[in-house]
Amino acid sequence: MTLELVGGAALGTVFVALHNVVKVALGRTIMQFKPLLGDLKFTLDSLNPRIIQQVGEHKLALGLPNEEIDSFQQQTDEGIKLVIKLSKLSMWSCNIWYNYCNCTKPSYTYQLVELDRYFRILLEILKQQEMRDVKEALLLARKIHDKQDELDKKLFDLLKVQQEAGLRAHEGWNGREF
Residue at 144 is within a domain: no
Residues 6+ apart with CB under 8 A from 112: 33, 36, 37, 40, 82, 86
Residue at 168 is within a domain: no
Q: What are phi and psi of 145, to 5 degrees?
A: -60, -45
Residue at 65 is within a domain: yes
Report how far apart, in Å, the C-alpha atoms of 153 and of each of 72, 144, 158, 163 are: 49, 14, 9, 15
Query: How does 38-72 read in b/e, with b if 16+ C-beta sit within 10 Å?
Result: ebbbebbeeeebeebbebbbebbeeeeeeeebeeb
Q: What is the pLDDT of residue 80?
A: 92
Q: What is the pLDDT of residue 154?
A: 93
In the chain, the number of structural domains is 1
Residue at 166 is within a domain: no
Confidence of residue 71 (pLDDT cuts 50, 70, 90): confident
Residue at 46 is within a domain: yes
Residue at 69 is within a domain: yes
**Domain of 61, in residue numbers:** 9-129
Residue at 71 is within a domain: yes
Segment 106-160, tens digit of pLDDT: 588 889 999 999 999 988 988 888 899 899 999 999 999 999 999 999 999 999 8
pTM of the model as a whole: 0.67
Cβ count within 10 A of residue 104:
17
Confidence of residue 165 (pLDDT cuts 50, 70, 90): confident
Residue at 142 is within a domain: no
